[in-house]
A = this chain, B = another copy of it.
Amino acid sequence: MSAPLHIHLTPGDEAPLYRQLVRQVVAAIASGHLAPGARLPSLRELAKTLVVAPLTVKKAYDVLEERDLIETRRGQGTFVRLDAGSSSREATERLRPLARRLLVEADLANVDPEALSLLLDRERTRLREERETREEAS
């Protein structure tokens, strides 16, 4: 068995399907919705749910494994690593370019540092609410 993983993909989006999937699984892990040790849906199962080819799912899982977030066991399934998120060095490196882009776009929109801080707080709250909503649904 495996967690239901409320994921929604948008074909034809700017980001390819497998990258959308990567981001949403990362979000699920970060939010605790996918706990360390949890089993992810199998390639074929998730592929059927999302109506994509199994290879597309595998490609996403490959990226996640490359980031040391998950671990695959042939014949058993795919699991969230127990130390997922502990290798903060790699994840922190991911933060800087994102932060830069955010700062540049904020500057362009004449958004003050304080206003940006408020926006982040608001978005943080929204993320928490979404998580709680999902937990109620389950």
- Contact call B96/A123, Cβ cutoff below 8 A: yes
A108 neighbours in B (Cβ, 8 Å): 26, 29-30, 69, 84-85, 91
Binding site for B on A (CB under 8 A): 23, 26-27, 29-31, 69, 84-86, 88, 91-92, 94-96, 98-111, 113, 116-117, 119-121, 123-124, 127
Task: Work out how many copies of this chain go into the complex.
Answer: 2
| Chain B residues, CB < 8 A from A31 | 104, 107
- Give the distance in Å from the alpha carbon of A101 to the alpha carbon of B24 in the complex: 10
Q: Is the interface of A mostly helix, strand, loop or mixed?
A: helix
Instruction: From known contacts A88-B109, A106-B95, infer whether A100 and B123 are also in contact, taking CB-CB under 8 Å.
Output: yes
CB < 8 Å neighbour of A123 from B84, B86, B99: B99
A30 to B94, CA, bound (A): 22
Q: Please give the distance in Å from A115's CB to the nearest CB on chain B.
A: 10
A85 touches B102 (CB 8 A): no
Determine if A109 and B91 form an interchain contact, defined as CB atoms under 8 angstroms apart: yes
Known contacts A29-B108, A31-B107; decide if A102 and B113 are in contact (CB<8 Å): no
Known: A30-B105, A105-B26. A99 touches B111 (CB 8 A): no
